[in-house]
Amino acid sequence: MQQSLRLTDTSIGKKVAMAASGVILFGFAAGHLLGNLQVFKGAEAFNSYAEWLHAHPQVVYPTRILVLFSLGMHVWSAWTLWSRNSDARPTPYKKKQDLATNYAAQTMYATGPLFLAFVLFHLAHLTVSPEYGFMGLTEESPFANLVSGFQHWWIVAIYAVGVLCLGVHLRHGLWSMFQTIGASHPKYDRYRAWIANLFAFLITVGFLSIPAGVMANIVTL
Amino acid sequence: MTERTMNITLHVWRQDNPGKPGKFERYEATDISEHSSFLEMLDLVNEGLIKDGKDPFSYDHDCREGVCGMCGMVINGIPHGPQAATTTCQLHMRKFKNGDELWLEPWRAAGFPVIKDLVVDRDAFDRIIQAGGYITSRTGSAPDANGIAIDKKTADAAFDAAACIGCGACVAACPNASAMLFVSAKITHLGLLPQGQPERKDRARKMVAQADAEGFGGCTNHRECEAACPKEIKFANIARLNRDFIGAMIKAPDDVPKPQPVR
């Protein structure tokens, strides 16, 4: 029997899955940043925010499930599109000149997995370690964990690389999302890159401001 | 005015058939007039090969006026060569310098198997058009020219998309060998006009499904296609294609069959 075409069978359908899950992951990153910027309000505000999260599993668990599901969808669509795209040109060019693309678009398959690796490190560092008391971290004060974490240059370095990967990934990803869902109009097209760059910049600077604040002794114990 | 002449070194991709591996061979084009076209220069080199009893290399060409879509090769990494919005046949040697070294490659894509040397099989594009890139209309006598009123801006935009000659440079330029610019040109051309409306939903689904079945990659928004296109087909057409396709997948009341992979 002949099968009907389903959205997820097609390359565009997979790109829609990529865009939809990407927007959810971006939303989480933005929310995570806004919450954690409270570190600049001091230990009490930051710790009470953390306590509030612990006291509201009805908020935290659905969010975790949604983020995990979106991550799965993002990785699945990236993997299936990557394998389709790499099969589409079996013999590479001897010479190939790029006319229009940019570094952000060309490094999507590098910045994505690198950022995912950073997220695993980040979870191990600030979510898992305090439970087991690694590196002197405790569950008492997430604020103290954050400040003491960013005392180590190598943690700051890993964090900065991770955040920069996210920023570069978002620069192409957010712009691409508009195109993939068909949001295009001659009058507004020039704003698409502008909006993508602005949000990528805000996310990057926002996340980098936290270790910078610790290193500049603005955020201290 | 004196005529400038030049000597060019060519590295031409030679491949006997789709199954065999290919390789580059080096040829010298000597005393080439700057006024000769790129294809005339290749003809001169091939004439020399024939005189020496060697096998001339094959390349596609037909009208040599930039309208048929037959010609095309990747010249030093750019489909149709260094001049923007120009087919290979309309490219002239005045764009090159004495002593230039040129690498000539066929369109490289799983959807475009090499037939011989620089000639690729572009039947995949015909099958994509056959899948839905048409309107089913009664072929009686021609309707009155102004029988259906279409405003000038819409007519111009449809015409811009209809200018696609199906040469395949978009696929050649795309890092993923994706055919989305080609598909989107036909979707835009017919989708903007009243005659294209009845089959609009089917067209988007069937053409995309066929392009996927042909083994072309997906679009990752690098915009290389738009930059390489000799007819300046716009990248925004792909957004229109996505819009039509997603809308059809969600809203169309009936299903369309999933095509079998071609290769």
**Tokens 């790499």 appear where?**
A86
Dig out the tokens for A138 from the structure.
């405790």
Q: How far is B231 from chain A (nearest CA, A)?
A: 16
B147: burial class by Cβ within 10 Å (0-12, 13-18, 19+)?
exposed
Largest Cα separation within chain B, whole Å, is: 68
Rounded to an integer, what distance in angstroms lies between the CA atom of residue B241 and that of residue B225? 15
DSSP characters over B47-93: HHHHHTTPPPPP---S-SSS-S-----EETTEET-SSTT--GGG-BG
Looking at the complex, does the CB of residue A5 fall below 8 Å from at least one CB of chain B? yes
A 20-79 residues with CB < 8 A to B? none
Dig out the tokens for B65 from the structure.
């006026």
Dig out the tokens for A84 from the structure.
């389709």
Angle made by CA atoms A79, B175, A162, in degrees to the nearest 5: 55
Phi-psi region of B76 (alpha: psi -120 to 50; beta: other; left: phi over 0): left
Q: Confidence band (pLDDT; 50, 70, 90) for B20? A: very high
What would be the CATH architecture of the domain defined by B122-251?
Orthogonal Bundle (1.10)
DSSP-based three-state secondary structure for B164: coil
Rounded to an integer, what distance in angstroms lies between the CA atom of residue B169 and that of residue B73? 8
Dig out the tokens for B118 from the structure.
């620089």
CB B100 within 8 A of CB A78: no
The pLDDT value recorded for residue B1 is 62
Element (H, E) at B201: helix B200-213
Alpha helices in A99-188 (DSSP H): 103-106, 108-123, 129-132, 142-149, 153-180
- Cβ A182–B246 below 8 Å, yes or no? yes
The pLDDT value recorded for residue A203 is 98
The pLDDT value recorded for residue A54 is 93
Residues of A in contact with B257 (CB under 8 A): 2-5
Rounded to an integer, what distance in angstroms lies between the CA atom of residue A67 and that of residue A26? 10
Averaged over B131-149, what is the pLDDT? Answer: 85
Question: Among A34, A216, A43, which residue's Cα sits nearest to residue A145?
Answer: A43
The pLDDT value recorded for residue B90 is 98
Looking at the complex, does the CB of residue A96 fall below 8 Å from at least one CB of chain B? yes
The amino acid that residue A198 corresponds to is: L
The pLDDT value recorded for residue B137 is 78
Looking at the complex, does the CB of residue A187 fall below 8 Å from at least one CB of chain B? no
Rounded to an integer, what distance in angstroms lies between the CA atom of residue A119 and that of residue A132? 19
List of residues 6+ apart from A193 with CB closer than 8 A: A175
CB B13 within 8 A of CB B117: yes
The pLDDT value recorded for residue A1 is 59
Q: Confidence band (pLDDT; 50, 70, 90) for B138? A: confident
- Going from the C-alpha of B139 to that of each of B135, B143, B150, the distances in angstroms are 11, 10, 21
List of residues 6+ apart from B240 with CB closer than 8 A: A182, A184, B184, B187, B188, B191
The pLDDT value recorded for residue B141 is 81
What would be the CATH architecture of the domain defined by A7-87+104-215?
Up-down Bundle (1.20)
Nearest CA in chain A to B103: A95
Query: Between B105, B227, B257, which is nearest A93 by CB?
Result: B105
Q: Confidence band (pLDDT; 50, 70, 90) for B147? A: confident
**What's CA B35's distance to the chain center, in Å?**
25
B132: burial class by Cβ within 10 Å (0-12, 13-18, 19+)?
buried
Averaged over B200-224, what is the pLDDT? Answer: 97
- Count of CB atoms situated within 10 Å of the CB of B200: 18
Nearest CA in chain B to A190: B236
Residues of A in contact with B11 (CB under 8 A): 94
Percent of chain B scored above 70 by pLDDT?
99
In words, the CATH class of domain B5-105 is alpha beta
Question: Among A20, A76, A55, A33, which residue's Cα sits nearest to residue A206?
Answer: A33
Nearest CA in chain B to A177: B221
CB B180 within 8 A of CB B84: no
Nearest CA in chain A to B202: A5
- Cβ A12–B218 below 8 Å, yes or no? yes
- Cβ A9–B240 below 8 Å, yes or no? no
Q: How far is B52 from chain A (nearest CA, A)?
A: 28
pLDDT above 70: residue B121: yes
DSSP-based three-state secondary structure for B116: strand
> What is the mean pLDDT for each group of 10 consecutive residues in chain A (221 residues)?
88 97 98 97 96 96 98 98 97 96 97 98 94 88 94 96 98 97 93 96 98 95 85
- Count of CB atoms situated within 10 Å of the CB of B251: 8
Q: Go through A115-151 and write b for each residue having 16 or more CB atoms within 10 A of its CB, e for each that does not.
A: beebeeebeebeeebbeeeeeebeeebbbbbbbbbbe
- CATH 3.10.20.30 placement within chain B: 5-105
Rounded to an integer, what distance in angstroms lies between the CA atom of residue A161 and that of residue A51? 29
pLDDT above 90: residue B26: yes
Residues of B in contact with A93 (CB under 8 A): 74, 77, 105, 108
Question: Among A32, A111, A123, A20, which residue's Cα sits nearest to residue A73?
Answer: A20
The amino acid that residue A70 corresponds to is: S
pLDDT above 80: residue B143: no
Q: What are phi and psi of B102, to 5 degrees?
A: -115, 135
Question: Among B13, B97, B177, which residue's Cα sits nearest to residue A84?
Answer: B177
**Tokens 């000799």 appear where?**
B230
- Cβ A10–B245 below 8 Å, yes or no? yes
- What does the pLDDT look like over B42-85, one tens digit per residue? 999 999 999 999 999 999 999 999 999 999 999 999 999 999 99
ipTM, two decimals, is: 0.95
Residues of A in contact with B74 (CB under 8 A): 93, 95-96
